[in-house]
Structure 1
Amino acid sequence: MSALACLLTLLLAAASYLTSPQQRLLAVPLRRRRIVLLPLAAAAAVAWVAALGTAAGLMAMLAALMLGTVALPYVVAWRGAAR
């Protein structure tokens, strides 16, 4: 269950990044896809809470979300530098 929760949280971070105007992965940000973020966040929170309990699950979700949010721009920049 923790792997599913981690995957959902990283998908949330990626979707959040792709809707940002400062993203560099796509030519145009996915502006109309922001509606997907709320159900994805709710699903990730439910998965984390089911796996670890309420307090630990929410903190783990926030930690994984921070990891994805910070790491994704670096991965995209590294990918662009490799070309």
Structure 2
Amino acid sequence: MDALTKIMHHFIAHQDEYVNLFPGKYVVIRADFRTAGAFDSKEDARKCAMSITDMPAAFYPAVPGEKAYTITLRSI
């Protein structure tokens, strides 16, 4: 399993904790499962995740439910 998939599984397993600690924020999670930051904007979270160069990182909105980690793609 790649690092980003592991981060996603970690987020899902601990989603309730992230929602309680950082409600409505975008949470940046490193591949070692440490929280790198919590931000009001998606752009700030993206910048933080991109600045982590020693390991993969991802960000998720700290909101309840599947919407936090599910995307829908549509073709036109």
TM-score, normalising length: structure 2: 0.32
Q: When you count strand as a share of all residues, which structure comes out higher?
A: 2
Q: When you count helix as a share of all residues, which structure comes out higher?
A: 1
Higher normalized contact order (CA 8 Å, seq sep 6+, divided by chain length): 1
Question: Larger Cα Rg: Structure 1 or Structure 2?
Answer: 1
